[in-house]
Amino acid sequence: MSEKIRVLLEEEQVDKRIREVAEQISRDYAGKQIHMICILKGGVFFTCELAKRVTVPVSLDFMSVSSYGSGTESSGVVRIVKDLDESIEGKEVLIVEDIIDSGRTLAYLIEMLKKRNPKSIHLCTLLDKPERRVKKQVTVDYTCFTIPDEFVVGYGLDYDQKYRNLPYIGVVEL
């Protein structure tokens, strides 16, 4: 293992911010039920932490998507690896992601999900890299942290399937 991990966001900072975002979501959805769609695999840690702090009723479903491209660049051509188990028609949908950068995959996903007639679709992310955004129409409604363009791991984010279980957000330094 030649990688060194530099701590970007401490576990306490991440926990505190997730609690704050959950409180905002609970206020915004007061009197409603949220249908959270977790984007696998990276989003699972954040989704679980967020869901248990939201005070309005929550139902959960999962999607796994793969975007083709060369190396680390997404082409925006999306393949659904695991689709939703339930209909989202008439539901208040909150897509939960670990990180958003170019927005290509999410732009495709949101357009596809809109065709399934949810009552609303909003987007929540643990980490946002807006300087890498290619698809400007992707609007993030709830962001825990805006981060610089660095390769991050922890809290579900991985490097070659490693480091997902770190309780903090770190930067991989090769």
**Catalytic residue IDs:** 101
Q: What angle do CA 56, 57, 63 make, to 5 degrees?
A: 115
Judge whether 123 and 139 are in contact, CB under 8 Å: yes
Cβ 51 vs Cβ 111: under 8 Å: no
Q: Which residue type does 166 have?
A: L
> Which residue in the block uniquely carries the two structure tokens 């399934």?
116
User: For residue 63, what are the β-bridge partners?
Assistant: 39
